[in-house]
Amino acid sequence: MELPAQLRIEPASAGVARADYVFLAVPSHGLGEVISTLGDAGLGRRTAVVSVAKGLVPPDGLPPTIVLSERFGTGRVACVGGPAHAQEMVHAGAALVAASTDEELTRTLAQVFIRAGVVCEQSNDPLGVELAGAAKNAAALAAGAT
């Protein structure tokens, strides 16, 4: 594969410092490690941190937004949940929920998805959205889904 000549390679910290939103799409068991390195990566003081992890963060079994809020403050932490899988989003469309205790963050985050043509509802209950996602995964495993 030939790469375009204008392609620039930058450290991850360069993009993180300029970002309005940083989406953390990592398994919940690895979220603690990512959070610990994120601050060192030059995360902007106003950058919103958005979790799409489903599950609880070890070792204490806390929801991702709780762990993120402890590190970055509640005003810049959100989550995105829903029954959607990436494949469904591309082929059939699906709906998401953007949730934060910060109303403005919830609204602007939902607009990011809506502008991309994705149905996105808003919630002020990130804990509920995360626990619903964790429960959905547990139910799917119990039913034999992989």
Smallest Cα–Cα separation from 16: which of 45, 40, 53, 41?
A: 41
CB 45 within 8 A of CB 70: no
Look at residue 90 in the predicted model and tell me its pLDDT: 66
Q: Which amino acid is at 29?
A: H
**Segment (H or E) for 49:** strand 48-51
Look at residue 12 in the predicted model and tell me its pLDDT: 64
136 part of the active site:
yes
Sheet holding 77-81, edge to edge: 21-24, 48-51, 77-81, 95-99, 119-123
Q: Which fold has domain 12-142?
A: Rossmann fold (3.40.50)
Look at residue 86 in the predicted model and tell me its pLDDT: 64
CA dist list (Å): 94 to 1, 84, 86, 87: 33, 6, 9, 10
Ordered by start, the domain boundaries in the chain are 12-142
**Segment (H or E) for 48:** strand 48-51
DSSP string spanning 68-124?
HHHHH-GGGEEEEE-S--HHHHHHT--EEEEE-SSHHHHHHHHHHHHHTT-EEEEES
Look at residue 55 in the predicted model and tell me its pLDDT: 87
Look at residue 98 in the predicted model and tell me its pLDDT: 97
* Catalytic residue from among 136, 140, 141, 144: 136
CB 31 within 8 A of CB 64: yes
Divide the 146 residues of the chain into consecutive groups of 10 and give the mean pLDDT of each group. Answer: 79 77 91 83 88 91 95 95 71 86 98 92 96 78 76
